């Protein structure tokens, strides 16, 4: 078989998708509602009235906690994968997951002791601790 005869179904599919896309867009512009109300262009935030600009700056601690969540949440994937293969791994796998969880716990305790998980009013004290630990390193 030649290369062209193998790919003609893909070309037909590609053309059909393009035609279908054009038809759907044309129908939506012809049949779609046209209304202009006061709240049409305003962002919808779960029904709450807009109080301030959406361009406000967030505290860097928000991103820090989000990053911690992603890191520790990703580790759950590894633990689940281990749990699915626990029997074939045997005792070696059990010891390895204990070491893995131990490292995770050590990291969590370190972050907790450093104050990276605190959201209270003592943020200036936390900054001082972080800066002093950076100076030591």
Task: Give pLDDT, residue 64.
Answer: 79
**What confidence score (pLDDT) does residue 70 get?**
85
CB of 76 within 8 A of CB of 58? no
Q: Which two tokens stand for residue 4?
A: 């062209």
> Are residues 125 and 74 part of one domain?
yes
Buried b (16+ CB within 10 A) or exposed e, 23-32: eeeeeeeeee
- Rounded Cα distance between 74 and 72, Å, is 5
Range of 14's domain?
1-34
> How much is the pLDDT for 134?
61
Asked whether residue 108 is assigned to any structural domain, the reply reads yes
In a domain, 121, yes or no: yes
Question: Which parts of the chain register pLDDT below 70?
Answer: 1, 3-4, 39-50, 52-54, 58, 119-137
How many CA atoms lie less than 13 Å away from 13 in the CB half-sphere? 5
What is the pLDDT, as a whole number, of residue 99? 95
Output the pLDDT for position 120.
63
Tell me, what's the pLDDT at 35? 74
Element (H, E) at 24: helix 3-31
């Amino acid at each position: 078989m030649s290369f062209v005869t193998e790919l003609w179904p893909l070309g037909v599919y590609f053309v059909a998708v393009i035609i279908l896309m054009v038809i759907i867009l044309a129908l939506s512009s012809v049949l779609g509602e046209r209304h202009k109300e006061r709240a049409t262009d305003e962002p919808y935030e779960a029904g709450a009235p807009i109080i301030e600009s959406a361009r406000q700056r967030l505290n860097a601690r928000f991103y820090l906690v989000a990053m911690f969540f992603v890191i520790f949440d990703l580790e759950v994937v590894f633990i689940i994968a281990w749990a699915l293969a626990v029997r074939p791994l045997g005792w070696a796998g059990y010891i390895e997951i204990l070491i893995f969880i131990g490292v995770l716990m050590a990291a969590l305790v370190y972050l907790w002791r450093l104050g990276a998980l605190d959201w209270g009013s003592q943020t200036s004290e936390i900054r001082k601790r972080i800066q002093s630990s950076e100076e030591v390193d």
